Chains A and B, each alone.
Chain A
Amino acid sequence: QVQLQESGPGLVKPSETLSLTCAVSGYSISRGYYWGWIRQPPGKGLEWIGSMYHSGSTFYNPPLKSRISISVDTSKNEFSLKLSSVTAADTAMYYCARVEAVADNWHFDLWGRGTLVTVSS
Chain B
Amino acid sequence: QSVLTQPPSVSGAPGQRVTISCTGSSSNIGSGYDVHWYQQLPGTAPKLLISGNSNRPSGVPDRFSGSKSGTSASLAITGLQAEDEADYYCQSFDTSQRAWVFGEGTKLTVL
Contacts and interface: CB of A to CB of B under 8 A. Distances in A.
Does B associate with A? yes
Contacts of B99: 48, 61-62
B24 interface: no
- Majority secondary structure of chain A interface residues (helix, strand, loop or mixed): strand
B41 to A, nearest CB: 12
Contacts of A112: 45
A24 to B, nearest CB: 15
Interface of B: 2, 33-34, 36, 38, 44-48, 51-52, 57, 89, 91, 93, 97-105
Interface size class of A (residues with CB under 8 A): 20 to 34
Nearest to A109: B48
Interface string A37-61: 0100000011110010000000001
A112 B34 CA distance: 23
A110 B34 CA distance: 18
B105 A46 contact: yes
A35 interface: no
